[in-house]
Amino acid sequence: MYVRSNCAMRPARLANRIALVLHRRVYMLIAGAVLSTASPAAEQYPIRPIRLIVHTTPGAASDITARTAADEMSKQLGQPFIVDNRGGAGGLIGAELVAKATPDGYTLLAGASSVMVMIPAISKRKLPFDPDSDLVPIGRVTHSPGFVLVVNEKSPYRSIKDLIAAAKAQPGKMKYGSAGMGTNPHMLGELVCDLGGVAIVHVPYRGPVPALLDLLGGATDFQFDSPITVVPHIASGRLRGLMITDRERYPGLPAIPTADEVGYPDLFLRGWTAMYAPRGVPKAVLEKLRAAFRDISMTPQFKERLLKLDLAPGYLGGDELLMEQRKSREFWRKLAAVRGIEL
């Protein structure tokens, strides 16, 4: 009987093993070379100016917030932050631009809750980007102390109850403006319709400033807007504030009652502005951005700057912000379904 010896296989097996070891070593050398070239770039970040996209028109609360944060971030990181306003489509144009940008940390987004929460809640079609998977939150810088319901100084309405009574008397005749479909002011108007059982026409604009100009001109009957925008006009007597969508009165407008005080506790909403990066940004870069953002948000001088601008400091870390925007989106998604709203 013939028995095959294993000795004959040893040279071949040895050659295979040597080849495998060499292959692994070459792979490790290549991987090490890649890491060695990528790591210093992340460690030295930033080495050039950073572009901060703001998805609304100049002068809006989120724009003012973004510029204030950009100024402080520039001091913290040692590179200029160039603010670039890209309004339109309720903020989707600017947000999509960042979501599809090269994820190197040199293109960031100042995103408001309207784009990150409201528009995804009412959209029945697939958006050009996913706010949860295509954008990674750096952190929330501020939250609005609520939105003020304002009417023209010549308006006969002295309270929200007057406004709702008039809307019931003339269904479909009253109009309210907003910064666009899916923005916070739009959805607050829909919430008024739902709570009051009335039909009011929504007029969307390309940002809050054009909407405010038409309200001042008498083209619309009311709108919701941030305190930072309406305080000067209320002070001058051109606008009248009926209520604020908050639990506490706003210090800059102490005479304006809260949602609770006017009998509409469910008419509550605080907007916010946060900073985002494209998904895929290097971990080291993201950590550096988050650390810088957290540091500026905690400084007394930065908080003082926000308060002087009638903005409420409201820092929230990236991971916590992601959970909050998902939770909030569900509430507005249900309202959109009830109201038959879709983008």
Residues (pLDDT < 50) of the chain are 1-12, 14-15, 18-23, 25-39
Angle, to 10 degrees, between the axis of helix 227-236 and the axis of helix 61-77?
Answer: 130
Answer whether CATH 3.40.309.10 is correct for domain 148-244: no
Q: Is the pTM of this model over 0.85?
A: no
Please tell me the predicted confidence (pLDDT) of residue 40: 57
H or E stretch covering 314: strand 312-317
Please tell me the predicted confidence (pLDDT) of residue 37: 42
Q: Which residues fall within 8 angstroms of residue 340, CB to CB, at 6 or more apart?
A: none
46: region left, alpha or beta (phi > 0 left; psi from -120 to 50 alpha): beta
Task: Take residue 183 and report the two structure tokens written for it.
Answer: 């923005």
- Residues 53, 55, 59, 60: is their CA dihedral positive or negative? negative
Task: Take residue 109 and report the two structure tokens written for it.
Answer: 């987004």
Q: Where in the chain is the domain with CATH 3.40.190.10?
A: 148-244
Q: pLDDT tens-digit profile of 26-68?
A: 444 444 444 434 445 667 899 999 999 999 888 888 899 999 9
Q: Which residues fall within 8 angstroms of residue 221, CB to CB, at 6 or more apart?
A: 151, 152, 155, 157, 163, 174, 175, 176, 200
How far, in Å, CA of 221 to CA of 240, rounded?
Answer: 11
Closest CA to 183 of 152, 151, 207, 148: 207
Q: Where in the chain is the domain with CATH 3.40.190.150?
A: 50-144+271-339
Q: Which residues fall within 8 angstroms of residue 21, CB to CB, at 6 or more apart?
A: none
Q: Report the DSSP beta bridge partners of residue 164.
A: none
Q: Are 272 and 278 in contact (CB under 8 A)?
A: no
Please tell me the predicted confidence (pLDDT) of residue 3: 38
How far, in Å, CA of 249 to CA of 322, rounded?
Answer: 28
Q: Are 221 and 174 in contact (CB under 8 A)?
A: yes
Please tell me the predicted confidence (pLDDT) of residue 17: 53
How far, in Å, CA of 189 to CA of 184, rounded?
Answer: 9
Residue type, 294: R
Classify domain 50-144+271-339 at the CATH superfamily level: Bordetella uptake gene, domain 1 (3.40.190.150)
Q: Are 162 and 170 in contact (CB under 8 A)?
A: no
